Structure 1
Amino acid sequence: MAALLQLRAKWAWARLIALAVAMAVLVGSACAFFLWNLEAVTRIRFDHPWLLWLLPVAGMAVAWLYHRHGGESDGGNNLILDRIHDPGGGVPRRMAPLVLLGTLVTHLFGGSAGREGTAVQMGGSIASAVARPFLLAKGHVRMLLMAGVAAGFGAVFGTPLAGAVFAVEVAVVGRPGLRALPLCLLASYVGDLVCRAWGAGHTHYHIDGVAGPLAAGYLDALLLGKIALLALACGLVAWSFATLCHGLSARLRRWVPQPVWRPAIGGLAVIVLFLIAGRADFLGLGVWSPDAGAVTLTSLFSSPEIHPSAWVWKLAFTVVTISAGFKGGEVTPLFFIGAALGNALAGALGAPPELFAGLGMVAVFAGASQTPLACTLMGIELFGPGHALPLVLVCGLAFLASGHSGIYRSQRFAMRKPLWRRPPGHP
């Protein structure tokens, strides 16, 4: 009997591994398709800037589609986290195509949003669809959902190690689901390999102006102090971003009960912000621009020019876009906000702009997502192991400074941060 039980357990694990690989191939392919189309619609928007004036109408169309046919899909990333906590309800299959279409519409018409939400939701939706016919145990469904998140995150950013750790770290802050880590690592690397095999490209970031500490000891007490100040600022900005998004979203839901009208109001607000700012740098993803003089995420790593207010503008554009219900996610705009904040503080503190842009980029995300380990590993994957020490410092301090308000409402806390009130539900 014992031998039979061991055989059944091994068969269950072998089946779970096979399902994770198959799922990751599908997720990696979906992410490649998404990245190709995201690049295409971004180019179309740059070629036809008048599309911004249709953003309110486009947002209404997507909101109507979700309201009429989306069901639970409108829960987005929070629904994925809810299903990781309790896999019983499953994730709708329709979530993947809906969020793909919704995100492409957001970027085609100039909304300031990201792409991680799309990848995570496609990963969770595909993982749930793969699991459904096999009647897996709840624990295995939970691990497969986490592997789907890992595959999507790792594939869309080209950071498979960070993707796997993000998947096990994000659901419960302070209590990572380490049992699922091997499966998440497998799925994340397979998803990334498949996405690259399809020829989908990723943005490359380089901290060229500063040698890494493994090559030359550039870190001294003064620079470490400046990095600590940057980290605290990034944590407070991350807290502000999450608080503003949740607050504005709640007010829009209260003031505008009909969900179809919220993106119309948000789209008009984005247009007003564009007219006030007088430039298109803060629309869309913000990674690149055909305008050589534009402030973009990549330009913040290559230009010695300081842009003291760019992070404020990008934060305002993104808070309005996300709170109004546009699809896409927050991570790439958070990268922009963090890099621009690092650039601004580098000018004020007399620090290397390239280094502070890179550190700020991952630190704001660490605070907003409450995933400091994943963001540290992402920084190492993006910038190289030579910057590991400042990355650990900046992500850890930003996490501590960001309080208990992250961008994901369904996140749970198994720890209490010093100097902050206890999070909801914390004993």
Structure 2
Amino acid sequence: MKLRLLRLIKYFTSNRLTRRVIESVAIGILAGCLAALFFYCLKAADTFVIYLVGGTLSPSPLGEPPLFNVISKPQSLWLKILLPAFGGLASGFLVYLFAPEAEGHGTDAMIKAFHQEDGNIRSRVPIIKGLATIFILATGGSAGREGPIIQMGAGVGSLIARILRLSVRIKRQLLLAGAAAGIGAIFKAPLGGAITAIEIIYKEDFEAEALIPSVISSVSSYAVFSAFFGHATIFGLPITPSFYDLREFAFYLLLSIASALAGILFIRVFKRTRRIFHQLPIYPPLKPALGGLLVGLLGIFVPQILGTGWGEIQIALMGKYGALLLVTIALAKILATSFTVGSGGSGGIFGPSLFIGGMLGGGIGLFGHHYFPAIVQQPEAYILVGMASFFAGIANAPIGALVMVMEMTGAYGLVAPFMLVSIFAILFTQKWSIYDSQLRSRFDSPSHREDLVRDILSEITTAQLWNELQVAPEPIPASTLIKDIPTAFRKSTVPYLLVKKSSDIDGIIESDDYVGVAGIEETNVILATDVASPIPQVKQSDSLRSVLRAMMIRGVNHALVISSAEEKPRIITSEQIESAAERHR
């Protein structure tokens, strides 16, 4: 029995795909537990702030009912203004003292870790990020909760990869798997979380290698999170949205244009605000406090922009707001989020982007329904489509955005408008991105330089380098004693010796290899053929990629190129292949 168990363990641990599955499940379970803990702490902090200083509990979407009951108390005007400033101050000190990289929105930090930091995230960063975001959101700051949970999940993936001493390539994959787990759990969107995680790191590409780990970890984390907080979609819908009339495409096209313009405005305002706060000559922890003060002032006039605002989306879906108010709320949310996160406050961008897009879409839907009721029959549908299109535009992530919103709302009948509006939004905003660390494609990422070289080498043959290659030197007999090899090296003009057995060259002794056997005593017994490595023999029509692969398999830096025109064979080196790749970049 014990032998069978050992064989089973050996089978599973020796299979690469099986190892990735086990690692991904572990990441998903841990990330799901962290997401549940973060969500519970955030709800508890919301309740505690109201109990301590007064006010009313923020509205919640139907799929996220309040976890605690609290009696509303009167709250002074000054307290409403100052409370976000207090949250910003606490967040600022926490980040500044313990983890400065936790400043701002966490998704960009995860993208930067993938591209520039070999998939490494300091273990303390997700913890500090989570606490700082709770301070921001519980006091009314305008941000999203996905920033910390993405960093938490990515941190779990990075930590597991470091503990298991996995390669940098695998560490990057597990980093994305962790990010997917965080998104899939906190938004109850397992497939959307997986796709978004591998999509947002590029503008025009996605990380295909990380898809399977991301799906597995996201599903695992979703299962854990839902065990605590239920499986219901986050937003409840008063109707079953569907697409009725082809003429409605005109209004959805109008929505895509409006989403693109609002997205560009958001990106410009956000980055300009961040630059202004960065240049302010004041103590860094005071900057989020100043941003919070501005949010508090704005919240006096437009209270819907305080906090995550997801309950306000639910109210809009129930038809409680007019078109003009919805557009006003969307524009105010752009300012509030820029003040909160742009000042250095901790929080996410994804949540506010859904809010802005949803309110904007709702305004356009109500406008169309008012003037063309026969065409626009469900204005609520425009809120959902606006949510997906706005985030797709600012993040260059059309597929992940539409799948996320469908899973969060259950609006699968709107798949055609989702696709149309998201793609058009991307067309209008492709030169813009809310994420500074986002790159155009895999070939622009340091993590995929090997892929770029591989593709280049596939297009070059040895025939193209034939004139640069050195004619193969005269080989030594296979029966040459090892004690005579130093003399052969001294006579040679190249750092290797070819070994000839019968009539063919079948081996090579490179100078580095010879050093390892030069000190042995049995110099009259060991022959050159005993220490020679097999030399790859390639044709002029072979690609440099296949030649390099043959070298790597045999552990040598040289290959013998056989001519098709009865010429003497020539030698190609790995250095020549690398130089050819550099020239053709």
Question: What's the TM-score once normalised by structure 2's chain length?
Answer: 0.64
**Matched residues in 2 for 1:145 and 1:170: separation?**
13
Give the match's secondary structure for 1:412. Answer: coil
**Matched residues in 1 for 2:236 and 2:397: separation?**
22
Q: 2:436 is matched with which residue?
A: 409
**Matched residues in 2 for 1:120 and 1:274: separation?**
27
Deviation string, structure 1 residues 302-353 (Cα, Å, up to 9, x no partner)? 1154242221122221121111122120222221211111121123233332
| Aligned with 1:204 (options 225, 231, 234) | 234
Q: Hey, which of these two has a bigger chunk of helix by percent? A: 1
Q: 1:292 is matched with which residue?
A: none
Q: 1:421 is matched with which residue?
A: none
| Aligned with 1:183 (options 213, 216, 237) | 213
Alignment CA distance shift 1:249-1:305 (3 Å): closer
Q: 2:34 is matched with which residue?
A: 30
Please give the residue correspondences for 1:259-408 in structure 2 after superposition, counting only pairs within 5 Å: 259-275=284-300, 277=301, 279-288=302-311, 296-303=312-319, 305-308=321-324, 309-350=328-369, 351=376, 352-381=378-407, 382-408=409-435
Alignment CA distance shift 1:199-1:57 (3 Å): closer
- Shift of residue 106 of structure 1? 0.6
- Shift of residue 116 of structure 1? 1.1
Matched, 1:42 2:56: no
Alignment CA distance shift 1:180-1:264 (3 Å): same
Tell which has more relative contact order, 1 or 2 (C-alpha 8 A, sep 6+).
Answer: 1
Question: What's the % identity of the aligned pairs?
Answer: 28
Deviation string, structure 1 residues 252-302 (Cα, Å, up to 9, x no partner)? 101235321211211221122123x1x5221111122xxxxxxx1101111
Preserved contact between residue 95 and residue 128 of structure 2 (Cα < 8 Å)? yes
Q: 2:156 is matched with which residue?
A: 126
Alignment CA distance shift 1:89-1:366 (3 Å): closer
Q: 1:61 is matched with which residue?
A: 90
Deviation string, structure 1 residues 81-134 (Cα, Å, up to 9, x no partner)? 122124436101111211111111011211011111111111111111111122
Preserved contact between residue 137 and residue 308 of structure 2 (Cα < 8 Å)? yes
| Aligned with 2:269 (options 222, 231, 244) | 244
Preserved contact between residue 87 and residue 141 of structure 1 (Cα < 8 Å)? no
Preserved contact between residue 28 and residue 217 of structure 2 (Cα < 8 Å)? yes
Give the counterpart letter for 1:42 in structure 2.
D
Q: 2:22 is matched with which residue?
A: 18
Preserved contact between residue 200 and residue 397 of structure 2 (Cα < 8 Å)? yes
Preserved contact between residue 231 and residue 398 of structure 1 (Cα < 8 Å)? yes
**Higher mean C-alpha deviation, range 71-80 or range 402-411:** 71-80
Preserved contact between residue 234 and residue 338 of structure 1 (Cα < 8 Å)? yes
Preserved contact between residue 264 and residue 429 of structure 2 (Cα < 8 Å)? yes
State the structure with more CA Rg: 2
Preserved contact between residue 87 and residue 141 of structure 2 (Cα < 8 Å)? no
- Shift of residue 205 of structure 1? 2.6
Preserved contact between residue 239 and residue 403 of structure 1 (Cα < 8 Å)? no
Q: Hey, which of these two has a bigger chunk of strand by percent? A: 2
Alignment CA distance shift 1:79-1:374 (3 Å): same
Please give the residue correspondences for 1:80-159 in structure 2 after superposition, counting only pairs within 5 Å: 80-88=110-118, 90-159=120-189
Q: 1:193 is matched with which residue?
A: 223
Give the match's secondary structure for 1:406. Answer: coil
**Matched residues in 1 for 2:190 and 2:430: separation?**
27
Give the counterpart letter for 2:308 in structure 1.
L
* Number of aligned residue pairs: 396
Alignment CA distance shift 1:100-1:45 (3 Å): same
What is the root-mean-square deviation in Å for CA atoms of aligned residues? 2.3
Give the counterpart letter for 1:135 in structure 2.
R
Q: 1:424 is matched with which residue?
A: none
Alignment CA distance shift 1:347-1:72 (3 Å): closer
Give the counterpart letter for 2:115 in structure 1.
H
Give the counterpart letter for 2:94 in structure 1.
L
**Higher mean C-alpha deviation, range 48-57 or range 120-129:** 48-57
Preserved contact between residue 128 and residue 141 of structure 1 (Cα < 8 Å)? yes
- Shift of residue 29 of structure 1? 0.6
Preserved contact between residue 242 and residue 407 of structure 1 (Cα < 8 Å)? yes
**Matched residues in 2 for 1:10 and 1:179: separation?**
19
Give the counterpart letter for 2:306 in structure 1.
L
Deviation string, structure 1 residues 207-239 (Cα, Å, up to 9, x no partner)? 5446524xxxx1222x11011100111122112
- Shift of residue 46 of structure 1? 5.0
**Matched residues in 2 for 1:398 and 1:256: separation?**
38
Structure 2 unaligned runs (5+)? 1-10, 56-74, 370-375, 443-584
Preserved contact between residue 119 and residue 171 of structure 2 (Cα < 8 Å)? no
Structure 1 consecutive aligned stretches of length 4 or more whose deviation exceeds 6 Å: none
Give the match's secondary structure for 1:413. Answer: coil
**Matched residues in 1 for 2:306 and 2:101: separation?**
28
Preserved contact between residue 127 and residue 144 of structure 1 (Cα < 8 Å)? yes
Give the counterpart letter for 1:325 in structure 2.
G
Question: What's the TM-score once normalised by structure 1's chain length?
Answer: 0.86
Preserved contact between residue 270 and residue 317 of structure 1 (Cα < 8 Å)? yes
Q: 1:166 is matched with which residue?
A: 196
